[in-house]
Structure 1
């Protein structure tokens, strides 16, 4: 079920992310899904099956791979997928790794596409 220690991110928060480079938006869909639909601006694609491994990378490895600073335990991380289910699982994984400021963009890509009229 998940431990529900994460909070819910809203469309407005996600829309404002270009103004908040310190926050990390992780798209946990498969790369093929991202190619199909496009991506939310600023998002980094880390499929759910690899989230734990990638969040355990050291700072240099993470930066080399994603051109973004690896989030520290207090940094805000928002996960999204297509509808929010996989994002919730990813949020649980991140919390298990000690990240304290984790959010799930409920509605995820489907909500984004609707709000953006894609």
Structure 2
């Protein structure tokens, strides 16, 4: 009985340690995005709708379009995507993924899902496109006046 209790305690310690060291979503800012944009192994993912990504304004005061170099993975379709589809976009589990939306809320949800899927390096750009557009020198593609 004593050996069984020791074994159970050991298993609990290992499980707690594995949860403590599991990947989590890191919050990043505009400077981090700028420093890593275009670097090998870094992928910027815009989870807004394809219409917003392609230049239509999502809300009054928010420019349509996306941060240059971003790929579009619409959050409304994310749950139905297979790992093979994500892999074909370059989003393999060994890359760093920086996710953004309008404000950082929906991107955080997708980032959490990616961690649960086994992605080891997932970042959420907290301010997202709203923060990005605060600096008028930051480019947005396609260039659209809204």
Q: Provide TM-score, normalisation by structure 2.
A: 0.65
1:19 shift after superposition: 4.1
| CA offset digits 1:58-116 (Å, max 9, x no partner) | 57x71xxx4xxx23323100100000010001001101110010010001000000024
More helix by share: 1
Distance in structure 2 (CA, Å) of the matches to 1:23 and 1:41: 13
Distance in structure 1 (CA, Å) of the matches to 2:77 and 2:127: 21
| CA offset digits 1:19-63 (Å, max 9, x no partner) | 41320110000112222211101100110122244461257x71x
Within-5 A mapping of 1:3-22? 5-22=24-41
Question: Which residue of structure 1 lines up, in the alignment, with residue 3 of structure 2?
Answer: none
Within-5 A mapping of 1:1-118? 5-34=24-53, 35-36=55-56, 37-54=64-81, 56-57=83-84, 62=88, 66=89, 70-116=90-136
Q: Show structure 1 runs of 4+ deviating over 3 A.
A: 52-55
Number of residue pairs the alignment of both structures matches: 108
What are structure 1's unaligned runs of at least 5 residues?
A: none
Higher Cα Rg: structure 1 or 2?
2
Q: Which moved more, 1:93-102 or 1:108-117?
A: 108-117
Distance in structure 1 (CA, Å) of the matches to 2:38 and 2:74: 25
Q: Compute the RMSD of aligned alpha carbons.
A: 2.3
